[in-house]
Amino acid sequence: MADAFVLMEVSREGLATITLNNPDQHNAFNPDLVADLNDRLEDLRANGDTVRGVIIRAEGKVFSGLADFDWLPHLAHYTDDETEEDAEAIAEVLSRVRELPQPVIAVVEGPAAGYGLGLVAACDVVVATEAARFVFSEVRHGFIPALAMPYVIEAIGIKAARHYLLSALPFDAAEAHRLGLVDVVVKDDTELEGRLSNYVDHIFAAAPGALAATKALMDEVTGLPIDDELIDEIVAAHTRNREGGEAAQGIEAFLEKKDPDWRR
């Protein structure tokens, strides 16, 4: 679909690539882009058995800007119900990215701000070029970065979040890496594609069920005290995994020095 705000391709091997596709408005979130994103993410969630990994990137020089200026005049006249519906849809995008069973890699090759920056923070792995720039500029315009805040705080910590969300200071890829928002900074397209290929190879070498369960368990245990209740939960998770087919096949494949089914 040439006029789609979000494109998605899935390779034969099961790698899905989602592309934000509104470069004329810097891929900023608007109701159409958000609706397309939610549809694509729901497709991925429903096809966890055939899609093994997800890459999110953007068309054009900007990953995602603060505002779509074609949509902004309509925002000023939203009713309370429309405002709430809009926020719920954006929150659903971020939540769905976070809850996908597949590992999700964001590729940031230019500026990222607004809800798009929340999208980056919600991904499992972030690869950025040296051209990437980041800013939480909402407070300058009378907004609060509420929808992205939980993901941002988790990514960079509360102290750094206070610094950058309250000051609205821009920062570069090197600082984003230091903060933990970005996992890898690359110099050029060749290094970028090499890093992506390496990540994808490792994702496809792992059992998809084990990856999905690991993602879910990390969310369940994060921030909890290591007490008897938590230990009971992780023992139960371990037991469920050991009783499943992937673990049995993994042991057999290791002992017989052959590849398990998910690597074939």
Which pLDDT band, with edges at 50, 70 and 90, does 66 fall under?
confident
Measured CA angle at 25 (ends 21, 27), to 5 deg: 40
- % pLDDT > 70, the chain: 96
Q: Give the CB-side neighbour count of residue 169, counting CA atoms within 13 A.
A: 11
Residue 222, pLDDT > 70, answer yes
Residue 1, pLDDT > 60, answer no
Tokens of 132: 């990437």
Which pLDDT band, with edges at 50, 70 and 90, does 72 fall under?
low
Tokens of 148: 């992205």
Residue 127, pLDDT > 60, answer yes
**For range 36-60, the mean pLDDT:** 92
- Ranking 42-51, 102-111, 172-181 by mean pLDDT, the lowest is 42-51
Residue 164, pLDDT > 80, answer yes
Give Cα 85 to chain centroid, integer Å: 22
Distances, alpha carbon 186 to alpha carbons 58, 113, 164, in Å: 17, 20, 23
pLDDT digits (tens, 9 = 90+) for 186-220: 999 999 999 999 999 999 999 999 999 999 999 99
- pLDDT for residue 264: 64
In the predicted model, what is the mean pLDDT of the chain? 92
- Ranking 43-47, 73-77, 94-98, 141-145 by mean pLDDT, the lowest is 73-77
Which pLDDT band, with edges at 50, 70 and 90, does 76 fall under?
confident
- Ranking 131-140, 163-172, 192-201, 247-256 by mean pLDDT, the lowest is 247-256
